[in-house]
Structure 1
Amino acid sequence: MAGSSRAAQVAQFFLVLVGVAVAVALGWMLFVVVPEGNLARLLGVVLAVLAGVVGARAAGAIASSRFAGYDVAEVAVEGPITRDGGGSTFPPRPGGASADDVVEQIERADEDANAQALLLKLNTPGGQVVPSDDIRVAAERFDGPTVAYATDTCASGGYWIASGCDAIYARDGSIVGSIGVIGSRVNAAEAADKLGLEYERLAAGKYKDAGNSLKEMTEDERAYLQNLIDGYYDEFVERVTDGRELSDEQVRDTEAKVYLGEEAESIGLVDELGTKRAVKDRLAADLGVEEVTVEEFAPERNLMERVRGGSQSVAYALGAGVASAFTGEDGQGVEGVEFELR
């Protein structure tokens, strides 16, 4: 496989050179030879160079497509999983896993004829329910072998995703599991009383403001919210039993605990322990080749998105992320309650 990779690189380089030569020759004929006069020739030289650049880019794109030096796409899920990679702070905490970005990368890999297998690298404590499931569904739809590789942490929402892959690998020191759902709210009712704040309810529907942090929760509201959490938990258990061929009882017996790699393997949460080299060997066997070459797929961002991401990082570093906000995005929250796979 290493020899074929070098051959692909040589072929790419040769094709780019041919593209540059053809483009420059064409530009020279069109803009230098044909026009008359010094100004026209000077302009022609500039246009010929530009034509060469365009030709190089076009030839490079063709070469990358026809002579790609990889056969496995690697997509990373790192940090807390949310819809856009932010958190429940303002401004959003930078560095989380954007489900939309990860799904886009997996779909792009699936459309790439060179990417015959998917390596999903996971280092995440979990996150929001629906975004986690979006990533899992995208991985399940990938047309080819899929292997999840847990590095430091593959917990909760991360394991929700991993359980949909054909195999799960981890390290001895990896933290794996946490098959559970948590709902949380801030009870600020007593603080509001001390500050002289009074909650006035204007709502239609008995449970519309269930979980609001400025009022005490009734037993009916508590039961209602607990029922939602139980529903998410049942769905989580079902996902794991389907993907891992474990029984419902085996999954529930974990009681949302986390395990180190060796114990996670012994109870069936992980298939094998090993480094990335072992994962690549597994994928090579799946594809029937001696060795695979892995290409990292990263989010495609335009200039404005990069600038916005940088400004968020600066703002958070300056301490602007201290104020908390409670969201109901993607059905994750009801009033002040957040439901997360953590």
Structure 2
Amino acid sequence: MKAAALGRGVIAIVGVLVAAAAAYVLFIAVPTTGVELVGVLLVIATAMAGLRMAGGIADRVFPTYNIAEVAIEGPISRDGGRRFPSGPGTTPTDDVVEQIESANEDSNVGGLLVKLNTPGGEVVPSDDIRRAVVEFDGPALAYTTDVCGSGGYWIASGCDELFAREASLVGSIGVIGSRVNAAELADRVGLEYERFAAGAYKDAGVPLREMEDDERVYLQGLIDDFYGQFVERVAEGRELSEEEVRATEARVYLGEEALELGLVDAIGTREDAEQRLAELLEIEPAVREFEPDRGMLDRVGGASRAVAYAFGAGVASVFGDADREIEIRL
């Protein structure tokens, strides 16, 4: 263990020195204008990048972990709620999937630890994460802190075991769809909805007019279909009957009651889940939190795309979008 730590330290130091030397030549030694101050900053930034790269190399050469951990926190969505760069958000779904896939490809990783602290979110992003968990080649254990509801529980149903605290809120196995009915308001302000669409149900749920009975049946059918998929996945993953899952009526339960209903496997903390995973793998646990592999250009590009999206979303909100009037969430 000491030899591995020493090796990691040597690699890290060498990586920083090489990066700093390269940056000095590129940004300080070569320029002859008054950009030395900027050069110093670039040297520091490059040295930090070198440290990060060296750390990654050191992890591969001298691994100090055998369990990967990923976290799903906050509402689940494709972009992680980061449409506006300054707004709060959670880890984007594609990043979580990337983390799990990276852990699965890492020969040092034998097990997966999934932190769930989420009230749920979008249907397909939740299912994408669940699929990645199911495809992980090794035991995958989940634990929840405050809440594991809806989309979070959809993900948990793909794990081998789920740990919860006594005060954790678990369940909410249901689907909800919603729309704003602004027809009366539109009448008051003199707005009139004029339809140009091909297909009887293309504009079903548009808020500027009253919903027809057949449209309501159609949209409720979509919700029921999503709910049926949710029930099937939970029943399969938790080894419960579909009747038992439906009997929960989309309620949330405290940890102890969730345990009695078979919605969780044990009452415990993160450390308990980690120890259980170590027992299954017959190892001394060493956990590493996996993060998405993103370069500097990708990060800058992501911020630029977020700004562009925010501007576009602001413009689109003025004119409306009939395809997004009905919001369906777990």
TM-score class normalised by the smaller sequence: 0.7 to 0.9
Task: Name the Cα RMSD after superposition.
Answer: 3.5
Once the two structures are TM-superposed, the CA of residue 122 in structure 1 deviates from its matched residue by: 0.6
**Does the alignment pair 1:248 with 2:239?**
no
* 2:187 matched residue in structure 1: 193
**Does the alignment pair 1:127 with 2:121?**
yes
Once the two structures are TM-superposed, the CA of residue 173 in structure 1 deviates from its matched residue by: 1.0
Q: Highest Rg: 1 or 2? A: 1
327 and 177 in structure 1: CA distance in 2 versus 1, 3 angstrom threshold: farther
Once the two structures are TM-superposed, the CA of residue 202 in structure 1 deviates from its matched residue by: 1.0
Displacement over 2 Å in runs of 4+: 10-21, 53-63, 89-94, 299-313, 323-328
The one-letter amino acid paired with 1:199 is: Y
* 1:83 matched residue in structure 2: 78
**Does the alignment pair 1:13 with 2:9?**
yes
* 1:296 matched residue in structure 2: 289
**Does the alignment pair 1:95 with 2:89?**
yes
* 2:37 matched residue in structure 1: none
Three-state SS of the structure 1 residue aligned to 2:203 is coil
Once the two structures are TM-superposed, the CA of residue 55 in structure 1 deviates from its matched residue by: 9.8
Give the aligned length. Answer: 300
CA distance in structure 1 between the aligned counterparts of 2:260 and 2:107, rounded to whole angstroms: 37
Correspondence 1:17-56 to 2 at 5 A: none
Three-state SS of the structure 2 residue aligned to 1:73 is strand
Gaps of 5+ in 1: 28-38, 40-52, 329-333
CA distance in structure 2 between the aligned counterparts of 1:325 and 1:167, rounded to whole angstroms: 47
Query: Could you tell me the TM-score, scaled by structure 2's length?
Result: 0.80
252 and 58 in structure 1: CA distance in 2 versus 1, 3 angstrom threshold: closer
Once the two structures are TM-superposed, the CA of residue 310 in structure 1 deviates from its matched residue by: 10
Correspondence 1:175-190 to 2 at 5 A: 175-190=169-184
* 1:71 matched residue in structure 2: 66
Three-state SS of the structure 2 residue aligned to 1:298 is coil
Once the two structures are TM-superposed, the CA of residue 303 in structure 1 deviates from its matched residue by: 3.5
CA contact (8 A) 1:211 1:335 kept: no
CA distance in structure 2 between the aligned counterparts of 1:139 and 1:79, rounded to whole angstroms: 18
User: Which of 323, 327, 330 is equivalent to 1:338?
Assistant: 327
The one-letter amino acid paired with 2:108 is: N
Three-state SS of the structure 2 residue aligned to 1:169 is strand
Query: Could you tell me the TM-score, scaled by structure 1's length?
Result: 0.78
Once the two structures are TM-superposed, the CA of residue 91 in structure 1 deviates from its matched residue by: 7.3
CA distance in structure 1 between the aligned counterparts of 2:173 and 2:275, rounded to whole angstroms: 29
**Does the alignment pair 1:173 with 2:167?**
yes
* 1:222 matched residue in structure 2: 216
Once the two structures are TM-superposed, the CA of residue 151 in structure 1 deviates from its matched residue by: 1.1
Once the two structures are TM-superposed, the CA of residue 280 in structure 1 deviates from its matched residue by: 1.2
Once the two structures are TM-superposed, the CA of residue 115 in structure 1 deviates from its matched residue by: 1.4
Once the two structures are TM-superposed, the CA of residue 335 in structure 1 deviates from its matched residue by: 4.2
CA distance in structure 1 between the aligned counterparts of 2:321 and 2:120, rounded to whole angstroms: 17
Three-state SS of the structure 2 residue aligned to 1:144 is coil
CA distance in structure 2 between the aligned counterparts of 1:324 and 1:97, rounded to whole angstroms: 28
The C-alpha deviation readout for 1:247-288, integer Å capped at 9, x for no partner, is 011000000000111111110000001111111110110111
* 1:117 matched residue in structure 2: 111
Once the two structures are TM-superposed, the CA of residue 305 in structure 1 deviates from its matched residue by: 5.5
Once the two structures are TM-superposed, the CA of residue 61 in structure 1 deviates from its matched residue by: 4.4
The one-letter amino acid paired with 2:225 is: G
156 and 18 in structure 1: CA distance in 2 versus 1, 3 angstrom threshold: closer
Percent identity, please. Answer: 57
Three-state SS of the structure 1 residue aligned to 2:219 is helix
The one-letter amino acid paired with 2:326 is: V
Three-state SS of the structure 1 residue aligned to 2:72 is strand
CA contact (8 A) 2:157 2:238 kept: yes
Three-state SS of the structure 1 residue aligned to 2:240 is coil
Correspondence 1:141-160 to 2 at 5 A: 141-160=135-154
